[in-house]
Each structure stands twice: as C-alpha cells, then as structure tokens.
Structure 1
Amino acid sequence: MAKRDYYEVLGVSKTASEDEIKKAYRKLAKKYHPDLNKSPDAEEKFKEINEAAEVLTDKDKRARYDQFGHAAFDQNSGFGGFGGFGGFEDIFSQMRSSTGGSSFFGDIFGDFFGSNSRSNSQRVTKGESIKVNIFLTFKELLFGAEKIIEAQLLTSCKTCDATGAKSKDDITKCSKCFGTGHVNIQRNLGMIQFQQSAVCPDCDGVGKIIKNKCKDCRGKGHYFAKQKIEVNIPKGVMPGQQIKMANKAHASLNGGPNGDVYIDLLLKESKVYEIINDYDLKMIWNVSYIDAILGNEITIKTLDGDVKVKLPKGISSKETIKISNKGLYKQVNRDKRGDLFIEINIAVPRNLSNKEKELIQALSENSNFEPKNIVE
C-alpha cells in the first residue's frame, strides 16, 4: 500500500510551522495511542503519525522529503545514503533513553505516561483550599466583626508528626522503588519496547513502608477533624468582597503549607436598611402628624446611634431627609462614608379619644387644614 503524504497524515499544510506540526502531532498521538485507543487500526495509525512527525519535525529530513517525497528514505531508491530515518525504533529509543529529557518525542510521551512524575511526586504541594460564606448585618459591614467558622478539615496528625508511624524506627525505605514512589514498567508495542513510570504498588507512591502504624491516624499521617477558625472582619467591607486567610484550610499531604480559606462576604436581609447609590443607605422613619405639622426636633436611631433631626414644618410622607456621612464606608478602614437618606412616613393614629376628636375637628374648620388639589 502506498504511503500517505506526511502532511496529510498530520492534517497540516506544507507551509505549516514546526510548532503547528508539533501541536497536530500531540493531538493525534493522544487520540490513537494503543494504550488509550482500543480500535483495531489504532496501532497502525499511531505508527503512521509517529513516522510523519519524525520527518517533519527535523529540518533536514523535512527538506529532503519536500524535494523527493517518500523516496528520500527508501534504501532501494536512487536516493540512498541519506542517513537519518531508522523507523519507529529510533522514536522509542529516544523515549527509553530520555524519559523526562528535552527531545520532542521524549516530552510528548513523558506527558502520556508520567515519565516525569517521579520528580513531581516528590515536590512539596500546598493543601487544598476551601471557600465559605459569612452573612453580615449592616452594622457589621460598617464597623467590622469577629466571627468563628467551623469546617471539617484534613489535619496533620500531631501524635506521629504526620509520619503515620508509631515511631520513627517503624519507617523504612520501600525496597521496590528505593524510596522514589515510582517503578518502571516495560511495555511492548509489537516489536517496539519502551518504559512507563507507574506508582509503586508496594508503598502507594510514598516511597516508604510503615511497620507499626500510628493508632490515631491509622498510618495515614492525617485525619479529618472539625476546626474552628477565627475571622476578623475589618470595618468598611462591602457585600460581595472576599477575604483570604492564608494557610488555614486543609493540611498538605507531603509537608507543604496548608491550603487557604476564602471567605465570601454576604449581606443579611434587613427590614430597616437598603443600599442605594453604592455607598448610601436608605431607611423609613415614622413621624407623628403633630411633629410633621410643627416641624419639631425628633430623634432617629441610626447605625451610629441616636441622631437628632429638625423636621421642616409641614413635611409630608415620602419626603426624604439626608444625614451626611452616615452611610457605608467607601473604602475599607477609611473615614469617608456615604450618606443616610431618611424617608418620612406620617403616622396617622387610628384610635382617638372623644376629646382628641373634638380638637381635631375644631382645627379642621381652619382653612390651613384644607388640602389643595389640582384638578386640571
């Protein structure tokens, strides 16, 4: 059967860059690798893809292929003596000799089979982070608060100092992987042989064997426990903001720092206040009709405490009074604030004594108490 054009095999144009060729190869190699694809023709396609990539990622071989085609590598053709392409054995010998190396194929198959995972498994990693919600009142937004949250967290065992062993003498290096946590497995692909790195089955990748396990953590070195975390909410925060508490979450499994706690600040529903204009607050305040008529001074309870306000004479319901600098903080821990808007609601009494009715009736006969309506 005639060989397919190498560019066609990889699905790239003849003007494709080396990066484009490598990208196409990665995609196809993952798709048709026999260990990942169980189709009957996967092995042949995989060989074809590797052959095409071996030529097109080498500048000299690609130049000869562009000029002479497949004949450039045919020992029986008139172009013999071009000493480069030795077939698939060359590809996989690169894999065997350079696992974790810098060659193109070594890097690709390192990604597939974890040939670089040995060093990765020994790398110290951070514990897992968590995210929690805290609901705050308007007063807590304004002035800050101390909160305590509880969470089930992975915790390092203090009894064994996270080793999992009853004592240090109970820890020995794994004899199968020599403490690396990984072993090499020989794999055969037809007549081709290569090595794959895998997690050591004897020590589960930790590189050590424990003779007598710690009773508290059962040899794991860690256990889940309910933890209380104190949270300091600074004054001037806003709903939707997030606070990060570093190294307060799950413990690391290999000696790294704990994960972080991310706290989303949410607003408790309020029957009194609402936020307007980003940093301003609005509330409704009931006023007696006598105070409204006479324009008396009244006391309004705010988040900052009692504030005395002089009402304009004859103020009506739905009118607003502004109290400056009594809204939310515009920046955390700063003094600049929004304003507080008071919407007035005239409270009309429902139950009156006979004397009160007589007085009001007498006042109603005065023209000043006659409401003015616009009819046109």
Structure 2
Amino acid sequence: MARDFYSVLGVSRDAGQDDIQQAFRRLARRYHPDINKDPAAEERFKELNEAYSVLSDPGTRRRYDRFGEDFRQVPEDYEERVAAGAGARGGARGRPGGAGVRTGFGGGFEGVDIDDLLGGIFGRGAGRGGTWGAVPGADQEAELPLGVEEAYRGGRRSVTLTGPEGERTYGVDVPRGVIDGQRIRLAGEGGRGSGDAPSGDLYLRVRIRPDSRYRLEGRDIHVAVPVTPWEAALGATVPVRTPGGTVKLNLPAGSSSGRRLRLRGEGMPNPRGRDGDLYAEVRIMVPPEPGERERELFEELAAVSTFNPRETG
C-alpha cells in the first residue's frame, strides 16, 4: 500500500501550503542523491517529490484528500458530471488509502459514454493543470556508458538512444567527475504526455566501463605503478599516469611490491566537495631477458646480500 503523502512530508493533514513547502525543502536537501550517497536516499527523494507534487497543488490535494490513493483515476468534477449528464443516483466515494472508487449508478444512462466519463479507471486521467484525458508523460531512464577518463573530464557529449519512436540524439552536458550510478537529468525528454500535459524527464544513469589501468572506489582511483628493483630499493621519483594527466610520485627507498602510496586530491573531481584520492600500488618489475652485464650485477648482488624475504619472525 502506498504511503500517506502527508506522512511522507511529516506534516499534518491541515498543514498550510507554506508548511508543506518548507517540509519538502528541508527533506529534499537531506535526501538529494547528489548529497546523500545512501542507496535508499534516491528512492526516498522520489517519494518526497511525488508527495510534494500532489500536496502543493490545491486541486490535486483536494482529490487526494477525498479519494486517497485512487485520486489519479477520478476527475475533480466527477460527481457534478454524473449528476448533470447521467442522472446518477449515486456518486463516487473514497477515503485516504482506500481500496478503490465505488459507483452507485442506477438506470438512465442512455447516450452517456461511461468509458469516457471514467476514463481514468480505464487508463486515462487528468494531468495537473491540464484537461480531462491529459496524462503527464512518464519519466524514463537509460544507461550512459563512459570511460574513466571521459568521466573525469566531463564535457559535452552526443548521445543516441533507440526507443519506440526510433533513434533520438541528445546533447548532454556531462558534469566533470561523474561516478558510477550517478544520474543526469534531461528535463522534458522522457515519455510524451497526452493532451496538454507535460512530458516526463529522461534520466541517464552513468556506467563506468572497466579499465585495465584504473580501478575506481567511489571517487578514489587505484592504479598500479611498475618500478625497477633499484628504484624500489633506493627510492626514486617516478611518473604516474592518471585520468587527469601525468603526476610525479616520490617513491620511498625500500618499497616492496604491494605498497600503496596516496596522492591526495588526485582522484575523481568532486564539484560539490573534496576530490577523491589516487592510490598508487607499487609493482616491482624485473628485466624479462637481462643482458650479460645486468646478469653479472644481479649475481654479484645475490652473493653479497643477506636479505631473505622468506624469513619470518
């Protein structure tokens, strides 16, 4: 059963429009998906939007108060239309959270199109601020695949989607530093409304493609840094490729494979807060086919070194 819209916003049933607006703004700031990363926050935000869209419109609110969750199926002038045009001996009744709309029709319906009169029950309804038979378009969602570097840079992209009406191409402004699962809203580009009702919105959900060079954890980027044995033993400054360009890593002496070094703020950008970090993981690489002099030096090192990485304790 759908939740009561007044409970969703935390207001009483006799709350004024100012109280409803203030409650929505307070909760929307708390649960907006760009601010609250809890997976449940997005659904909570949708619920708040739906409740506010109903209760902020006086006409829609009156229908909701009278018919409960069935309010979308019944026109506001339902009883007047039945009494004036059909000679009905009954009317619609409903209650918040009720099971449906009951009709008490008697005879005398010659020339009255009941399907037209109760169009909402058969899949048609009145959109807010529209005429009877006008239904707002549905919101739609599609995936937007991006590479790590594309997501890092952002920018204008052309996106072509295939739907029931064929292919459509959109110009999309991808925010810099978008992350996997983040949604980009294209207002009015969703399902078309009927009559004079508005179209829905199109939401593009970002999917970051796997990349052999980078691994993402939220806004943090993990990257492997290959180094030579002597760089690892003696320390060095080594270049590290990142989605934003090449940076310099100060490799401490005595760094073994698997050691992670953090470069603060070198991860995915965050327009609304702190940028992510870059974690460089050391990987010691040896020459696959050492030359004659290299082999001599390795053999000399093996003869004089007392280091044994397999010793424990």
The equivalent of 1:147 in structure 2 is 157
TM-score normalised to the size of structure 1?
0.48
Q: How does 1:160-175 map to 2 (within 5 A)?
A: none
The equivalent of 1:374 in structure 2 is 311
CA distance change for structure 1 residues 304 and 108 in 2, over 3 Å: closer, same or farther? same
Instruction: Indicate if the aligned counterparts of 1:286 and 1:347 stay in contact, CA closer than 8 A.
Output: yes
Deviation of residue 373 (structure 1)?
A: 4.2
Whether 1:109 aligns to 2:103 is yes
The equivalent of 1:347 in structure 2 is 285
Deviation of residue 322 (structure 1)?
A: 1.0
Corresponding residue SS for 2:293: helix
The equivalent of 1:265 in structure 2 is 206
Q: Which has the larger radius of gyration?
A: 1
CA distance change for structure 1 residues 149 and 373 in 2, over 3 Å: closer, same or farther? closer
353-362 or 119-128: which moved more? 119-128
Measured in 2, the distance between the counterparts of 1:264 and 1:296 equals 42
302-311 or 119-128: which moved more? 119-128
Identity of aligned residues (%): 23
Structure with larger RCO (C-alpha < 8 A, sep 6+): 1
CA distance change for structure 1 residues 320 and 97 in 2, over 3 Å: closer, same or farther? same
Deviation of residue 298 (structure 1)?
A: 1.0
Measured in 2, the distance between the counterparts of 1:99 and 1:153 equals 47
Measured in 2, the distance between the counterparts of 1:367 and 1:151 equals 63
* Among candidates 256, 262, 270, match of residue 197 of structure 2: 256
Instruction: Indicate if the aligned counterparts of 2:187 and 2:202 stay in contact, CA closer than 8 A.
Output: yes
TM-score normalised to the size of structure 2?
0.57
Instruction: Indicate if the aligned counterparts of 2:140 and 2:200 stay in contact, CA closer than 8 A.
Output: yes
Instruction: Indicate if the aligned counterparts of 2:232 and 2:284 stay in contact, CA closer than 8 A.
Output: yes
Corresponding residue SS for 1:365: helix
Deviation of residue 273 (structure 1)?
A: 1.7
CA distance change for structure 1 residues 283 and 366 in 2, over 3 Å: closer, same or farther? same
Deviation of residue 281 (structure 1)?
A: 1.8
The alignment's C-alpha RMSD in Å is 3.3
Instruction: Indicate if the aligned counterparts of 1:153 and 1:249 stay in contact, CA closer than 8 A.
Output: no
The equivalent of 1:294 in structure 2 is 234
**Structure 1: runs of 5+ lacking an equivalent:** 1-91, 155-223
The equivalent of 2:148 in structure 1 is 138
**Structure 2: runs of 5+ lacking an equivalent:** 1-81, 95-100, 106-113
CA distance change for structure 1 residues 310 and 100 in 2, over 3 Å: closer, same or farther? farther
Measured in 1, the distance between the counterparts of 2:237 and 2:224 equals 17
Deviation of residue 248 (structure 1)?
A: 1.5
Instruction: Indicate if the aligned counterparts of 1:153 and 1:250 stay in contact, CA closer than 8 A.
Output: no
Instruction: Indicate if the aligned counterparts of 1:95 and 1:109 stay in contact, CA closer than 8 A.
Output: no
Corresponding residue SS for 1:262: strand
Instruction: Indicate if the aligned counterparts of 1:129 and 1:249 stay in contact, CA closer than 8 A.
Output: yes
Corresponding residue SS for 1:334: coil
Whether 1:334 aligns to 2:287 is no
The equivalent of 1:97 in structure 2 is 87
Aligned length: 209
